[in-house]
Amino acid sequence: MTGQFVLPFAAAGPDGDSDFLVTDSNRAVIDRLFDWTRLPFGAAVLIGPTGSGKTAIGRAFVSGSGGCFIDNADAENDETLFHAWNRAQVQGLPVLFAAERPPMRWDIRLPDLLSRLNASLLIEIPPPDEAMAALLLQKLLARAGLALPDALADYAALRVERSYPAIGLLARRIDEMALAMQRPIGQRLVRDALATLAGTDGGSPDTD
């Protein structure tokens, strides 16, 4: 598998991660976002589903730019968001807001705040490609102390729904099934985990 690189300024999170994954699926997003000196008004809004890497990207953004990151921005009050946006203008340091939905779908009551957020660069994380699906499965399972060989990661990536929530759910299913069976991950286990997502019985058994 190819396509992964690690930004040198990525910030370590509480789970011990020191990097986030970049493949062709999100490379343009990362390149645009981390060119923060060219962000309109020094502000950007990053949107994407749960599991798409918004928090890890935000930590790296802060570490590299010295700016501010507000995660789950749609749950923050208007005053907090308004002051963060204005502070970026005064201090000359960028601000990144992250949420699952664009600002027009947040519960914003201050018209001036909504206009400022709409003037910021809106960046949406695209669906994962095959390379991202395989790498993310390996990373999520590694957090649980499980090794997913490249061949099995590629096998699963070809068959799982191309969405971050689906990939996260598959990793949890593989983890649960490996724990229940008390054995290393093999093709049959991965196939059966995929089948649970599809609501099928997994077909005829394979050998591991």
Q: What confidence score (pLDDT) does residue 199 get?
A: 66
Q: Are residues 68 and 100 in the same domain?
A: yes
Weakest-pLDDT range from 13-27, 58-72, 102-116, 134-148: 13-27
Q: Which residue has the higher pLDDT, 201 or 76?
A: 76
Q: What confidence score (pLDDT) does residue 33 get?
A: 86
| pTM (global) more than 0.85 | no
- C-alpha 124/C-alpha 64 separation (Å) is 20
Provide mean pLDDT across the span 128-155.
94
CATH number at residue 156: 1.10.8
Q: For residue 61, which of 25, 97, 26, 27 has the smallest C-alpha distance?
A: 97
Q: Is residue 62 part of a domain?
A: yes
Q: What confidence score (pLDDT) does residue 20 get?
A: 77
- C-alpha 60/C-alpha 83 separation (Å) is 22
Provide mean pLDDT across the span 159-187.
92
Query: What DSSP letter does each residue of 47-60 carry, written as one string?
Result: E--TTSSHHHHHHH
Provide mean pLDDT across the span 41-59.
93
> Is 75's pLDDT higher than 70?
yes
Contact in structure between 102 and 75 (CB atoms under 8 Å):
no
**In the structure, how many helices (H) and strands (E) does the chain have?**
8, 4
> Is 10's pLDDT higher than 50?
no
Q: Are residues 58 and 94 in the same domain?
A: yes
Q: Is residue 15 part of a domain?
A: no
Q: Are residues 108 and 134 in the same domain?
A: no
Q: First-to-last CA distance in the chain?
A: 22
Q: What confidence score (pLDDT) does residue 78 get?
A: 96
- C-alpha 27/C-alpha 48 separation (Å) is 14
Domain residues for the domain of 158 are 130-198
Number of domains the chain is built from: 2
How do residues 185-204 score in pLDDT, each as one tens digit? 999 999 999 999 886 444 43
